[in-house]
């Protein structure tokens, strides 16, 4: 068993090449490809699982005393997985990341189990670390409107300011994820002008979202000012040199706005999507309808916004009631 072969443990946080026998590396590559091709997981989820399992194999290199093989994986016990989680925790990794790491390892083991190469029962019996339930942190309606307006942008180039305003307007006005907005192409301008937009979200699922006139106006203003031809097949949102706009650029723009507009540290592009849901709910929006607009597979995922609205109402009560 693995525990009997224990030797020096390599530090988990260091960067290594994938440490595993060729057979195990090949099986892992096939599993990662299947996640994208067959299960159609989001690219960022696949990248996280790749990183998590790479770190796990690095840990096993020290745990086994050499590059792990499929045979070592087949002999895994819950104690081995707990040792990995403990090593990661000692590096300061949070509960949420640990839970995702265990989910990725379980998925890999189930893949090997279906091929008759391992048994995933041990990983399935291990309880995932309980992550603290954090409520979404929306912006106030006034702050969200400022971020999504042309006047609130800080970029000196007029077309870049218009681009940022259009993108933020889509995140807040239609509840898009940043990846969904950046995945739009020039052909989507016609749908935006018409007032409804078909979006491809997580897992390749599509949904139809409304586009408010003020949001459509922002996108059309960006189209008018953009120095690059927005072809039907090309990306709608362009970087300064004409290529596809990268998420890091928008993250950086939001960081600048936090300072200039005195926004809270929780103001991120994704917070605009939280604001979309919370503000709809606060104005009497139907929870099922909000679920559809956000593209959530489960209503329980959307229900977290009821807790946000309740917390807001209680805060107002505490501040306003004479006996509070």
Give one DSSP letter per residue of 180-217, joined into a string. Answer: HHHT-BTTHHHHHHHTEEEEE-GGG-EEEEE--HHHHH
Query: What is the average per-residue pLDDT within 11-24?
Result: 63
The dotted CATH code for 2-125 is 1.10.150
The answer, yes or no, to whether residue 59 has pLDDT greater than 70, is yes
Kindly state the tokens that stand for 164: 């940022």
pLDDT given for residue 99 in this prediction = 86
The CATH label, of 1.10.10.10, 1.10.3720.10, 1.20.1290.10, 1.10.443.10, for the domain at 141-320 is 1.10.443.10
| Average pLDDT of span 1-27 | 57
Give the rounded percent of residues in the chain with a pLDDT score beyond 90: 49
Q: Which residues pair with 208 in a beta bridge?
A: 198
Q: What is the pLDDT of residues 242-285, one digit of tens each?
A: 999 999 999 999 999 998 999 999 999 999 999 999 999 888 88
Helix, strand or coil, per DSSP, at residue 238: strand
Phi and psi dihedrals of 235, rounded to 5?
A: -65, 145
Please indicate whether the domains covering 2-125 and 141-320 agree at the CATH topology level: no
Residue numbers annotated as active site: 177, 202, 270, 273, 296, 305
pLDDT at residue number 205 = 87
Q: How many residues does the chain have?
A: 324
- Distances 219 to 198, 223, 226 between C-alpha atoms, Å: 16, 6, 10
Helix (H) or strand (E) holding 300, with range, is helix 299-302
Within 10 A of 97 (CB to CB), how many other CB atoms are there?
Answer: 17
Query: Could you tell me which residues are beta bridge partners of residue 238?
Result: 244
Read off the tokens for 48.
Answer: 């996280």
For residue 137, is pLDDT > 70?
yes
Locus of tokens 């087949």? 74
In angstroms, the CA 88 to CA 86 distance is 5
Domain ranges of the chain: 2-125, 141-320
């Amino acid at each position: 068993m693995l525990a009997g072969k224990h030797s020096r443990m390599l530090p988990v946080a260091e960067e290594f090449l994938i440490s595993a026998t060729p057979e195990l590396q090949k099986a892992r590559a096939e599993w990662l490809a299947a996640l994208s091709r067959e299960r159609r997981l989001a690219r960022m989820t696949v990248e996280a699982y790749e990183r998590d399992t790479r770190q796990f194999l690095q840990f096993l290199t020290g745990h086994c005393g050499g590059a792990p093989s499929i045979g070592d994986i087949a002999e895994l016990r819950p104690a081995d997985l707990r040792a990995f989680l403990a090593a990661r925790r000692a590096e300061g990794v949070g509960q949420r990341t640990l839970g995702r790491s265990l989910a990725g390892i379980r998925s890999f083991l189930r893949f090997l189990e279906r091929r008759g190469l391992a048994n995933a029962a041990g990983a399935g019996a291990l309880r995932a670390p309980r992550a603290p339930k954090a409520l979404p942190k929306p912006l106030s309606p006034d702050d969200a409107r400022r971020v999504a307006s042309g006047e609130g942008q800080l970029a000196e180039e007029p077309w870049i300011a218009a681009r940022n305003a259009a993108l933020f307007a889509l995140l807040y006005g239609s509840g898009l994820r940043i990846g969904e907005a950046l995945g739009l192409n020039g052909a989507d301008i016609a749908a935006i002008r018409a007032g409804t937009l078909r979006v491809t979200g997580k897992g390749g699922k599509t949904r139809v979202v409304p586009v408010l006139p003020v949001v459509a106006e922002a996108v059309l203003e960006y189209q008018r000012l953009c120095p690059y031809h927005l072809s039907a097949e090309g990306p709608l949102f362009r970087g300064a040199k004409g290529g596809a706009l990268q998420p890091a650029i928008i993250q950086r723009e939001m960081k600048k706005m936090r300072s200039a507009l005195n926004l809270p540290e929780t103001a991120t592009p994704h917070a605009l999507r939280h604001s979309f849901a919370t503000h709809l709910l606060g104005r009497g929006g139907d929870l099922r309808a909000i679920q559809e607009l956000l593209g959530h597979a489960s209503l329980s995922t959307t229900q977290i916004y009821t807790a946000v609205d309740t917390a807001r109402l209680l805060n107002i009560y505490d501040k306003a009631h004479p006996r509070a």
